[in-house]
Structure formats: structure tokens, C-alpha cells
Structure 1
Amino acid sequence: MALSMIPKFARAALAGLVATAVLTAPAAARSEGIVVFAAASLRNALDDIAAAWQRESGTKAAVSYAGSNVLARQIEAGAPADVFLSADLDWMDYAASKGLIDPASRTNLLGNALVLIAPKDEGADIALVPGVDLAAALKGGRLAMAGVEAVPAGRYGKAALQRLGAWEGVKDRIAQAENVRAALLFVARGEAPLGIVYRTDAASDPSVRVVATFPADAHPPILYPAALTRTARPEARAFLAFLGSPQARQAFERHGFSFRGKPVSGS
């Protein structure tokens, strides 16, 4: 069912679109530092890291967050980003196919896990096994997810539901959000009884709880590639290297990401 039929969801989606529109005009921030386009699920960890980077280098890293699909399209449209961090390989592959990134700088930086959440103090734990009946668990409500056709978290979620044989039962009960943080918000506000988000998103909001973790083999590996854009300024290379520093690693792991290694040399 379209979000327009769910007033609260529609308002949240509209807010997401307004935030996305801001991405079209980051020129002022770029004049003072570098601009980083990052998947919405990275917000808490990357805010900490960008602040640490500014203290250490004296250079500002202005970060714009949205779904990886939105960010890739913004870069393609000419938005002046220096660094792109995607929540899946496909949208980084898309950027590479369009000549938008420096392929030599590309690396798989982080990993994550996919979880099913409910509002805090609500809902029973659910065993995510083949044949699970999520439709019954929704009790007439909706399953909050990021867009299932384009947003990485939504695509991972759809793949997992299909693998478990649960997709047909819930596909008409999905409340699709602009990005994974918007899906998290639907559940945090009690507007959806269940939602599918990353482990790190669930950890960022005490008003939700994890009722189950999806088996890792139920969906493609959740990887976060990072790369310099084709038009990146020299300072951006040092920032990308900083993402692989012990300090950044501690921040990522503190927020629940699994760290996969150092991106590029800072020289």
C-alpha cells in the first residue's frame, strides 16, 4: 500500500525528501572543507569520526546522509562530493560504472548485520527460521523497511524474507521508508509494530529492541565500500585514510559495525 494512505508515514517520508533536497547544494560546505556522502546507517559513528578528524586535521568534513541509491544519483547529477560511503556493493558498482569514483581508492570498509526490531517493551521474540509467519506477528500492523527495490537495507531485508519464505505473507504489509533510519523511526514512534534495520541502527535508539537477528546466510553479505570520487580534492585522501585509523576503528566498533581494514594510504 502506498505511503500516501498512511498519514504519519507520509509525513516522515516527506521529511526525508526535504532532507534529500539539501544534498543538491553542499557547495558552501565544500568551500570550507571536504564533503562526504554516506549511507544513513553510518550517521552516529561517522558524526563522531568526522568530529575527531576535524580536531586532528583542522579540516572540516561535512557529511550528508541518505540512502545509498540517493547519494549515488546525486553524485551522478554533479553534487560536489569528495568521498562516497555506500551501504552495499551495488551502488558503489553503479558509481564506478559511471566513472564517478577513483577505483584505486575503493575498499570494503565495514560490515553489519540485519535485525528485526519492535518498540521497546513490546512484541515477543521471534525465531527467524524458514517458514516464519511474520504476517501473524504484525497483528494487522505494518512492517517498516527501507525501500525494497533500491535502498540497500530494504533489498537485504527483502532477500532475507524471500529466503525464509516470509515475503509473500508480508509484501502487502510493508511501510517503505526513504532510508533505513526513517524505517527505524517508524518503529521507535510506535507507528509500526516491527521493522527491519541494521544492528547498528537498533543500537542507536533505546526506544526499540531487537527481537531477532536474521541469519547471515539469508541475505548477501552486508558490506560498506568507501571510495574517493573522481573530483575529490587532495584533503579527501587523508580523510579516507583516517577512516582506517585505530581511532576510527574504535568508533565504528563502538557503534556495532564490524571493521574490515584500512582503506588507503594518506600520502
Structure 2
Amino acid sequence: MNRRLLLKLVVAALAALPLALPAAAADKVTVFAAASLKNALDAANAAWQTESGNETAVSYAASSALAKQIEAAAPADLFISADLAWMDYVAEKKLIKDDTRVNLLGNRIVLVAPKDKASTVEIKDGFDLAGLVGDGKLAMGAVDSVPAGKYGKAALEKLGVWSSVEGKVAGAESVRAALALVSRGEAPYGIVYQTDAAADPGVAVVGTFPEDSHPPIIYPVAILSESKSAAAGAYLDFLKSDKAAPFFTEQGFTILK
């Protein structure tokens, strides 16, 4: 076989081989999420990564702080707020894709105490919360900005006890920070979400606030207008799916979507 014919055969053989295409790079979804979601969302995200091969990077903080960061052009793909007000705030500034917004989860607020000092409290109109707190502090999220703090203040006002405890409130930067004050024994009582109480073995729920004592606790989610992630839509679909639901219900959230 002459060299020219051999060369033609080699070229033909190479042309017939399938092209080796590089594997698609995994996409990353950056999420800004309310601090109270941490345990449930971490578990859901691990399942999402296993299923899709895509990664998530989550920043947990008070919804108010996250909304302000989004307003300041912090790079993120999704926002999950612990109340409607802060989602409305970013929506009014055209910072979300309105057609992706959905009310995802619900929650309850509870009164917690250090586990070794817990006894049941009947939460009702005029209950003596000030007497229970005594010379200590009532740990809450900041009542003018953190959703859990706002819900807590609304409930205490409705029950007629806010004025008696207002001066005893230790306002924290997030609901998880308020929870930590109680867990460490730095505050005898705190108002947090029931999902936060379930996540910390150092506290016990001593009472649950009536649902009609405060506005409904709703966690909306939306894709941000400046999202660059091709996987953001699929990730949101996963959060709304039956596959993700158990990660939230196991922590005490209710499914709204």
C-alpha cells in the first residue's frame, strides 16, 4: 500500500470518529434567603445538586438586609423573603422577574425559652409576658425591619401586651440571632418562628401565638431581574416541586404553592 493511499485511509477513519465534545460546565445559582430557611434550604439544595449537577451558593440573613443588598446590585439569582413586604420592596424597584414570583411557604411564630428553664405559657389577651421576662430581655428580630420581629410586635399589640414589654426587647439583626440569645441563656424568652425553634436543641417552645394575632406569615420567592444563571428557572421549579416539599415540612414549614 502506497503512502498516499494510507494517508487517505487514516484521514477517512479519523473523520468517522465521533467528536469528543467537552462536558457542559455545571451552572451555579446564587440565592439570597431569609435566615429562618437555613436548615431546610441547605437540605433541599444538597438534593438539587445531586439531581442536577448544578451548585447553589446561599447567603442567609434578615430579609430586610438581603433586599437592601439586592437594591445595591449585589449579584444574585433568586430571593426568598420571609414576608411579602420586602419582596414587594424589590418588586417595586423592578428588581425581580414578576412572572416568576410565587408564595412558597408558610410559618408560625412561637415563644421560646432555654430548654432547661422551660414551662408552658398560655398566650392569650393580656397575658403577663412582662412578668415572665422580669429583669431580663425579650429576644426578637428587630421589630422595624426583620419580618419575625414585625410579626411578633403585631401579635403582642393585638394581644394588648406590647406596651408592657417594649422596653425589654432585645432587637436582633435576624431571627436566628434572636434564637441564639435564648439558646445561650442571655434572654429568658424570645419570639421566633417555629421552624427556628425546631432547629435549635437549646430551646423549647413554651407557647404558640394565635394565627389571627398577626398577618399571615408568607415566604415569597422570585428570580431576580439581573440573574445570569441558566439554571435559575429549573432551580425555582425544584423548590416548588413535590421533591423539595419534605425538606420544608420536616422543619415545620407549610407548603403554599
Show the counterpart of 1:238. Answer: 234
- Does the CA-based 8 Å contact 1:123-1:193 persist in structure 2? no
Aligned-pair CA distance for 1:121: 2.2
Deviations 1:3-58 (A, max 9, x none): xxxxxxxxxxxxxxxxxxxxxxxxxxxx9611000000000000001111111111
Q: Which has the larger radius of gyration?
A: 2
Q: Which residue of 1 aligns with 2:252?
A: 256
Partner of 1:106: 101
Q: Within 2, Cα distance between the matches of 1:148 and 1:252?
A: 25
**Structure 2 contact 27–231 (Cα < 8 Å) conserved:** no
CA contact under 8 A between 2:245 and 2:255: conserved in structure 1? yes
Over residues 176-215 of structure 1, what are the superposed CA-to-partner deviations in whole Å (9 max), with x where a residue is unaligned? 1000000000000000000000000000011100000000
Could you tell me how far apart the structure 2 residues matched to 1:162 and 1:245 are?
Answer: 37
1:33 to 24, 28, 32: 28
Say what the alpha-carbon RMSD is for the aligned residues: 1.0
Distance 2:241 2:118 in 1: 40
TM-score (norm 2): 0.88
Residues 32 and 104 (structure 1 numbering): CA distance in 2 closer, same or farther, change over 3 Å?
closer
Structure 2 portions without partners, runs of 5+: 1-25
Residues 1:85 and 2:112 are matched in the alignment? no
Choose which of 200, 206, 213 in structure 1 pairs with 2:201. 206
Say if 1:203 and 1:256, in contact at 8 Å, map to a contact too. yes
8 A Cα contact 1:203 1:255, kept in partner: yes
* 1:193 aligned residue: 188
**Distance in 2 between residues matched to 1:36 and 1:249, nearest whole Å:** 18
Deviation of 1:234 after TM superposition, in Å, equals 2.3
Say if 2:118 and 2:204, in contact at 8 Å, map to a contact too. Answer: no
Residue correspondence of structure 1 range 30-179 to structure 2 within 5 A:
33-179=28-174
User: In structure 1, what is the Cα distance between the partners aligned to 2:135 and 2:63?
Assistant: 31
The residue aligned with 1:224 is: 219
Shift of 1:133: 1.2
Gaps of 5+ in 1: 1-30, 262-267
Q: Could you tell me the percent identity over the aligned residues?
A: 56
Deviation at 1:244, TM superposition (A): 1.2
Equivalent position SS for 2:150: helix
CA contact (8 A) 2:27 2:230 kept: no
Report the 3-state secondary structure (helix = DSSP H, G, I; strand = E; otherwise coil) of the residue aligned with 2:243: helix
- Aligned partners of 2:193 and 2:243: how far apart in 1? 22
Residue 247 of structure 1 aligns with which residue? Answer: 243
Structure 1 runs of 4+ aligned residues shifted over 3 Å read none
Aligned to 1:14: none
**SS state of the match for residue 220, structure 1?**
coil
Q: Secondary structure at the match of 1:247?
A: coil
- Partner SS state of residue 84, structure 1: strand
8 Å CA contact 1:145–1:176 kept in 2: the answer is yes
